[in-house]
């Protein structure tokens, strides 16, 4: 499985001819890789904030992909004329090439709000993606929560994609505690250094995690790819 970091919290996963993009934020993203061409089969959206969803409709309409999100947000995208599959937290579905389970996330979930009123669309979520015998956990935008230990026990995690930016999500210290509970084999930090408000030192996070756990941290620059062994 290939995991390409697209900047902020956006990732591109490729395996067995299937392409998944998570939280596509390319338009307006100051660190997104240039000239990126994505034709996803599925688009996973953890919540509707623009820094996680700015390119959902364009990608879905351009490629005919299926948008997967919590039920209320999926219905919103269906009303915009794209294919959508609604789920909810704790539920799982076998899409064929991969199995997906939604997890809780401590955050918000709305569209709009920058120039006018926001439309709230259910809960935010994270994703457990299992394919080829490997499980990837994308935490979405979340604070630390104790049930991460349950996720790690019930779903052996090969790779955890965790926010470290603070202010809107976990900071590095809480993300370290998340690693201790999740016990993933590998960690890639996300949701940091896109804007000054979420500036962090990923190398310090890597040193803390690898000094206190058995997890290995890979720091990716936007456009770089991690090959999950």
Listed in sequence order, the residues at least 6 apart from 124 whose beta carbon sits closer than 8 Å to its beta carbon are 46, 47, 70, 105, 106, 107, 108, 109, 140, 141, 142
DSSP bridge pairs for 101: 92, 128
Q: How confident is the model at residue 114, as a pLDDT?
A: 72
Q: Give dist(CA 224, CA 229) in Å, integer.
A: 16
Q: What is the pLDDT of residues 82-119, one digit of tens each?
A: 999 999 999 999 999 999 999 999 999 999 877 678 88
**Residue closest to 124 by CA, chosen among 49, 57, 177:** 49
Domains of the chain (ranges plus CATH)? Answer: 2-224 (3.60.15.10)
Two tokens at 99? 């199995």
User: Which stretches of the chain drop beneath a pLDDT of 70?
Assistant: 115
| Whether the model pTM is above 0.85 | yes
Q: What is the pLDDT of residues 117-139, one digit of tens each?
A: 888 999 999 999 999 999 999 99
């Amino acid at each position: 499985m290939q995991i390409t970091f697209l900047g902020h919290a956006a990732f591109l996963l490729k395996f067995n001819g299937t392409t998944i993009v998570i939280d596509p934020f390319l338009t307006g993203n100051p660190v997104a890789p240039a000239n990126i061409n994505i034709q996803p089969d599925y688009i996973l959206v953890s919540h509707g904030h623009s820094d996680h969803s700015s390119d959902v409709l364009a990608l879905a309409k351009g490629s005919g992909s299926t948008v997967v999100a919590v039920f209320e947000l999926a219905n919103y995208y269906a009303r915009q004329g794209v294919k959508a599959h609604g789920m909810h937290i704790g539920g799982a579905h076998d899409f064929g090439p991969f199995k997906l389970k939604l997890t809780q996330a401590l955050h918000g979930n709305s569209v709009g709000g920058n120039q006018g009123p926001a439309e709230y669309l259910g809960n935010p979520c994270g994703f457990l993606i299992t394919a080829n015998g490997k499980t990837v956990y994308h935490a979405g935008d979340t604070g630390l929560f104790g049930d991460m230990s349950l996720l790690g026990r019930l779903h052996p995690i090969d790779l955890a994609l965790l926010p470290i930016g603070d202010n809107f999500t976990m900071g590095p210290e809480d993300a370290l505690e998340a690693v201790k509970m999740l016990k993933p084999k590998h960690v890639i930090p996300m949701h940091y250094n896109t804007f000054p408000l979420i500036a962090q030192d990923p190398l310090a996070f890597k040193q803390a995690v690898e000094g206190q756990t058995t997890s290995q941290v890979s720091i990716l620059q936007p456009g770089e790819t991690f090959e999950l062994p």
